[in-house]
């Protein structure tokens, strides 16, 4: 990375054009961010404190889903709050590149973890007798380690390629940094960035999505042959994951279209796409799992009853 990277400043013009709506934006982002962090931390603590849940593959993956969500929403929300409260529309290119790295990790990690969760459901429902042989804690942790290592390498390469660009412009009409937004400022053709980003999107978004779809095709083929009670139990365990996957896929689709096909869109669209991708999913995912998964509801209920009993005893 060039030393000049530390000196360059990227200006986010959207903040100055929002005027009085900046206050509404920062209040909205702050409330949703704090709510998201609290709910995710609470769910992780519930899983860690319950011996029945901690260490089980599905819940290990769920904890990683929560942690990835917090990383993504933190990198964006803190940046937005800082820009508005400090009345500072600028960010160093180095900080911008760091945000690009974490944003890339967030989007690809969520899809890969959702693919692993779909595989876990597939093994649990389609090969129940082999479940504990296939989905061992060691194997799950190894799969997560491989996911993080591979994705961080690709995100690091994207950050490096973006840092090598010679920029002729320094203004971005976005809320946060995107690789393509910086590439549009390049003095020369930035085809390499475009192709690399599209390749990563296809490999780390489309491929995991296909794996999720194939897993559910097999799952539904199996459960239609089972009893009504078995079907109900299978759908009960799959519904939270399926809703989460559809929700994040729709948000990602809007984000990819927005980043690749347009630079000049109404401010409200820019805000909606950013919020819909970085803020809403990390808030909804733990809520969906907390409401839909019976074991988590039971664990929360047990904790609350124990706490109430201890308070009454004291």
The per-residue pLDDT for range 123-141, each reduced to its tens digit, is 999 998 999 999 999 999 9
Among residues 56, 103, 44, 61, which one has the least CA distance to residue 78? 103
Q: What is the pLDDT of residues 131-187, one digit of tens each?
A: 999 999 999 999 999 999 999 999 999 999 998 888 888 888 888 888 888 888 888
- Pick 3-313's CATH classification: 3.30.470.20, 1.10.10.10, 3.30.70.2740, 1.20.1070.10: 1.20.1070.10
What is the predicted pLDDT for the residue at 120? 93
Tokens of 194: 């475009």
What is the predicted pLDDT for the residue at 84? 87
What is the predicted pLDDT for the residue at 3? 46
What is the predicted pLDDT for the residue at 71? 93
Give pTM, 2 decimals.
0.89
How long a stretch of residues is the chain? 314
One pLDDT digit (tens) per residue for the chain, 314 residues? 444 555 688 888 888 877 778 888 899 999 999 999 999 999 999 899 888 888 899 999 999 999 999 999 999 999 999 988 887 788 888 999 999 999 989 989 999 999 999 999 999 999 989 999 999 999 999 999 999 999 999 999 999 999 888 888 888 888 888 888 888 888 887 788 888 888 888 888 888 989 999 999 999 988 888 888 878 888 888 888 888 898 898 888 877 777 665 556 677 888 888 888 899 999 998 888 877 777 888 888 877 776 667 666 55
Sketch the domain layout of the chain as residue ranges: 3-313
Sheet of 9-12, strands arranged across: 90-92, 9-12, 171-172
Angle between helix 57-85 and 93-126 (nearest 10): 160
CB within 8 Å of 181: residues ≥ 6 apart: 172, 174, 259, 263
With 0-12 CB in 10 A as exposed, 13-18 as middle and 19+ as buried, what is 109?
A: buried
CB within 8 Å of 291: residues ≥ 6 apart: 240, 297
What is the predicted pLDDT for the residue at 211? 92
CB within 8 Å of 81: residues ≥ 6 apart: 26, 29, 30, 33
The CA-CA-CA angle for residues 135, 138, 140, to 5°, reads 50
Tell how strand 9-12 and strand 90-92 pair up.
antiparallel
Distance CA 182, CA 137 (A): 41
What is the predicted pLDDT for the residue at 250? 87
């Amino acid at each position: 990375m060039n030393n000049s990277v530390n000196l360059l400043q990227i200006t986010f013009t959207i903040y100055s054009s929002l005027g009085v709506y900046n206050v509404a934006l920062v209040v909205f982002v702050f409330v949703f961010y704090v709510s998201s962090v609290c709910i995710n931390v609470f769910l992780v603590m519930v899983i860690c404190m319950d011996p029945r849940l901690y260490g089980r593959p599905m819940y290990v993956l769920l904890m990683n889903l929560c942690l990835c969500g917090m990383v993504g929403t933190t990198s964006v929300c803190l940046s937005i709050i800082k820009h508005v409260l400090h009345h500072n529309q600028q960010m160093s290119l180095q900080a911008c590149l760091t945000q690009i790295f974490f944003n890339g990790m967030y989007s690809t990690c969520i899809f890969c973890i959702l693919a692993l969760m779909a595989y876990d459901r597939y093994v649990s429902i389609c090969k129940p007798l082999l479940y504990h042989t296939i989905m061992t804690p060691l194997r799950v942790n190894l799969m997560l380690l491989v996911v993080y290592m591979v994705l961080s390498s690709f995100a690091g390469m994207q950050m490096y390629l973006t840092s090598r660009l010679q920029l002729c412009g320094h203004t971005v009409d976005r809320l946060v940094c995107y690789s393509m937004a910086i590439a549009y400022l390049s003095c020369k053709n930035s085809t390499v960035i475009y192709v690399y980003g599209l390749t990563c999107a296809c490999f780390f978004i489309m491929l995991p999505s296909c794996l999720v779809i194939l897993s559910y095709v097999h799952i539904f083929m199996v459960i239609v042959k089972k009893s009504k009670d078995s079907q109900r139990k299978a759908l009960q365990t799959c519904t939270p994951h399926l809703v989460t996957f559809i929700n994040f896929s729709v948000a990602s689709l809007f984000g990819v279209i927005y980043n690749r096909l347009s630079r000049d869109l109404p401010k409200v669209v820019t805000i909606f796409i950013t919020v819909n991708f970085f803020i809403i999913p990390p808030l909804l995912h733990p809520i969906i799992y907390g409401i839909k998964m019976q074991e988590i509801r039971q664990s929360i209920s047990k904790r609350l009853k124990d706490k109430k009993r201890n308070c009454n005893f004291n």
